[in-house]
Amino acid sequence: MSNELRERCIYSLTSRGYTHKAANSIFTEIMNDLAHTLLADGKAVLPGVGTLKKYRRKARKGYDIQHGTMGEIPETIAVKFIPAKQIKDALN
């Protein structure tokens, strides 16, 4: 997560009367809970924003620019963000 987004969220909480220390703690706890939910359930829903889902990215071939060779990229688990309908509609 970018520091800019973190600082905006903390600023938003401090403007509502929380101390900087409390706002930082609240933000950290929310992000930790989100990560634990994602790891445990395979998805985490942010109402009105979207859903984070774990998915398996298949192994594939890739090009190593530094060495100029083809290589095998192993299968990995990645996170995909699926925006909520309200967000999609607002963007289009």
pLDDT in tens, 6-61: 999 999 999 999 999 999 999 999 999 999 999 999 999 999 999 999 999 999 99
Core vs surface per residue 39-58: b (16+ CB within 10 A) or e: eeeeebeeeeebebbeeeee
Tell me the CA end-to-end span of the chain in Å, nearest whole number: 25
Q: Return the axis-axis angle of helices 20-41 and 3-14, rounded to nearest 10°.
A: 130
Do 74 and 60 have their domain in common?
yes
For residue 1, the model assigns a pLDDT of 56
Do 92 and 57 have their domain in common?
yes
Do 73 and 31 have their domain in common?
no
Do 29 and 54 have their domain in common?
no
Do 56 and 20 have their domain in common?
no
Do 48 and 15 have their domain in common?
no
CA-wise closest residue to 52 among 85, 87, 82: 82
Q: Number of folded domains in the chain?
A: 2
Boundaries of domain holding 28? 1-41
| Predicted TM-score of the model (pTM) | 0.70
Do 26 and 48 have their domain in common?
no
